[in-house]
Structure 1
Amino acid sequence: MAPGQSSSLQLPSFLHGTFRSARQKAKREGLRCGEQYQKDGTFLLPRQMVDVPPGEVVMAHDLVDFQHERPAWRLYLVSDVMSGLREAVNWQNSLLMRDAYEDFCLETAWGALHFALAQMGPVSAQRTAKRLQAVLRFWDPLEGARYLFKTLGTAQTLEELMVASCDWAMDAWCPVGDDSVRQRLEMAAERMARATREDCIEAILREMPRALAHAGKLKHGGVVADPDFQRERLNTLDSWSFDRVSAACTGHLIWLLTIWDRELEKH
């Protein structure tokens, strides 16, 4: 545990309540922080933090939130904070502000977990590494809660949650070994943080079979499934485009496969 870090998980009070009340509070928090950002480019800490009792369930994805009238912890409503932020600045430079707010939140347990799970992007391997490293810094307090993610009625441990959301990162960047989830995430984040372009290409190629399995029907599936074709196309991407897929996130690779399939259709 990092020096000065709480041994229990603390979440902002604006993430707790019925769906309607928590969403309203999260939006107001975004407006408050957005107004501060306009003044001096900084963000405000939440007004009140609350200890989450050990074993209490935190809703980490809107897919599992069907009981809107039940007071609960709703971590995924950090997205509504960001909506308030954008509204506060009238959508001016919203991407720069989004990245700045993410960096601010990665210094907190709740922010680290939200951005690792939300996988907002596409983003580079280096930014993905920062997200995973932030979760790892807060692992001990985060381990105290249980999480509802994408499986209805099944509260998961932190390890199970990270497998459900970030197994692609471990498979692409730490594919071999019997280490724990935490150790594999540490290795994956370390390798992402210092990855060269060629390192990223190798990770992407390891993850491509899973992306292909979930990409749906592609008109030129046989061509885009060829590793030689994939490597050739990856080598032709400009730096900005390559950064967007360099983490080897499955969803971002599906997007890339779809683009390649459409390009082949034009020819």
Structure 2
Amino acid sequence: MASGQTSSLQLPSFLHGTFRSVQQKTRRDGSRCGEQYREDGTFPVPRQMLEVAPGEIVVAHEVVDLQREHPAWRLYMVSNVIDGLLDAVDSKNTLPARDAYEAAFLETAWGALYFTLAQMGPVSAERTARRLQAVLRFWEPLQCARYLFKKLGMAHTLEELMVASCDWAMDAWCPLGEVSVRERLEMAAQRMEKATREDCIDAIFREMPRALAHVGELKHWKVVADPDFQRERLTTLDPRSFERVSAACTADLLWLLTRWDRDEVSIATL
């Protein structure tokens, strides 16, 4: 266990309460973070941390937060802190401020889990590796809670939560079925961290069937779905676009497929 880490899970007090109270508290904390970031480029620690009781429910996604008048842990509302932060800084510094906030609070259990689940872009292989490694560092305390994520009424263990949110990472980077979720995440993070461009392309091809199954209607399906076409396009992607898809996240591959289809439509109309 990392130095200073406890076996219990502690979350900032601003994440607990009714939806309205958490909304107000997180917004205030975001403004507070913005003020300090403008002054010295750092962020204040939460004023109060509260221990999550063993087995207590943490709401990890907005779509399952239907009982908003009931007090609950609302992890997903870290997004409201970030909104408050970005409103408080100069518009030219919003991305650096957001990245700095993530880097600072990946060193906490709650920040590690939030940023891993939120998958805020760019979801590059390198960035995803850092997020997964952060969750793995806090694995024991994060196991204390149960999590609501996307499916109503289904309280997940940490292992189930990571499968629900990051199965794409395990399938693309550690396509093994006979080891634990934790071991697969560890191996996936290690491979992402050291990945070459060709390693990323191999991972993208392992995840591409899932992306094709969810992409919907494409005007040039046969062209875009052709592996030779995909490899040619991947090898010629500009560095920024390739970084965006290098982790092989399904959502980013959907963006890539629709972009390729749009390009083919443009060519066809010339």
TM over 0.5: yes
Deviation at 1:176, TM superposition (A): 2.3
Structure 2 unaligned blocks of 5 or more? none
Residues of 1 paired with 2:263 and 2:183: CA distance? Answer: 40
- Could you list the structure 1 runs, at least 4 aligned residues long, displaced by more than 4 angstroms after superposition: none
Q: Distance in 1 between matches of 2:263 and 2:148?
A: 39
User: What code does the residue aligned with 1:206 have?
Assistant: R
Q: How far apart, in 1, do the equivalents of 2:222 and 2:37 lie?
A: 49
Task: Name the structure 1 match of 2:63.
Answer: 63
Unaligned segments of structure 1, at least 5 residues:
none
Alpha-carbon separation, structure 1, partners of 2:104 and 2:218? 40
Q: Report the number of matched residues.
A: 267
Shift of 1:238: 1.0
SS of the residue corresponding to residue 92 of structure 1 reads helix
Superposed displacement of residue 177, structure 1: 4.0
1-side partners of 2:65 and 2:126: how far apart? 32
How far apart, in 2, do the equivalents of 1:141 and 1:93 lie? 34
- What is the 5 A alignment of 1:12-91? 12-91=12-91
Determine the C-alpha separation between the residues in 2 that align with 1:74 and 1:94.
24
1:174-213 aligned at under 5 Å gives the runs 174-213=174-213
Percentage of pairs with the same residue: 73
Aligned partner of 2:168 in structure 1 is: 168
What root-mean-square deviation, in Å, do the aligned CA atoms of Structure 1 and Structure 2 show? 0.7
Does residue 239 in structure 1 map to residue 223 in structure 2? no
Q: What is the DSSP-based 3-state SS (H/G/I as helix, E as strand, rest coil) of the residue aligned with 2:155? A: coil
SS at match of 1:50: strand
**Which whole-Å deviations, capped at 9, do the CAs of 1:207-228 have from their partners, x for residues lacking one?**
0000011111111111111111
Q: How far did residue 90 of structure 1 move?
A: 4.1
For residues 1-49 of structure 1, give each alpha carbon's deviation from its aligned partner in whole angstroms, at most 9, with x where no partner exists.
2222111000000000000000110010000000000001001100000
Distance 1:263 1:4 in 2: 52
Shift of the alpha carbon at 1:123?
A: 2.5
TM-score by length of 1: 0.99
* Partner amino acid, structure 1, of 2:154: T
1:152-177 Cα offsets, whole Å, 9 max, x none, are 00100000000000000000000124
Q: How does 1:121-160 map to 2 (within 5 A)?
A: 121-160=121-160
One-letter identity of the residue aligned with 2:60: A
Partner of 1:249: 249
How far is the alpha carbon of 1:122 from its aligned partner?
2.7
Q: Which residue of 2 aligns with 1:101?
A: 101
Q: What TM-score results when the alignment is normalised by the length of structure 2?
A: 0.98
